[in-house]
Amino acid sequence: SHWHEVAYRYLKKRGLSDEQITEHKIGFSMVGMFRYRVVIPVFYKGKLRGLVGRSFVKDLEPPYLNSIGEKVLYIAGGTGTGKIALLVEGSFDALAVAGAVRKWARYGIDTYAVLGTSLTELQWEQLESYDRVFSWFDPDDAGVKATNKLGKEMKRRDKEYSFVPV
């Protein structure tokens, strides 16, 4: 259909491969709160925990929508059992990084989206098994503040932490 093609072209323009679209069960909606948005399901321990919606049409506000519920990390690359976690803000950022560094997973590097700039207690629990955490947040005010806050909290939790400067 027309809207299927529009949504698919949007995903391709964002750099997603067909493999990523299938693997991450990415679709689109034409009804309800996620209408005219690609929809990215967020799973945790095999259960659907939320949805991220991104508008694929012009001037639909807000461009991003997250479903209601407890926020978990969105895994875009890796197994979720690695020793190094790479954190970015959004799901498309995570998918782009994971697509570019797909081979890193074999070295125990997992790529996650925080789905914002602050971590919930459940997200901290998800990071507990990692020896080292990297962040690569946006270079805006919120991203810089989040990087600093994350560094302080990592130190308090005695975690090895680095960030990508932008």
pLDDT tens-digit map of 53-91: 999 999 999 999 999 888 999 999 988 888 999 999 999
pLDDT (average), residues 133-137: 95
pLDDT at 146 over 90: yes
Asked if residue 138 lies in contact with residue 92, where contact means CB atoms within 8 angstroms, the answer is no
**pTM of the predicted model, to two decimals?**
0.91
Q: Which residue has the higher pLDDT, 102 or 19?
A: 19
Considering the chain, what is the average pLDDT of its residues? Answer: 93
35 against 104, higher pLDDT: 35
Q: Residues 8-34: what's their mean pLDDT?
A: 96
CA-wise closest residue to 102 among 11, 25, 20, 38: 20
- Give the DSSP H/E element, type plus range, for residue 12: helix 2-13
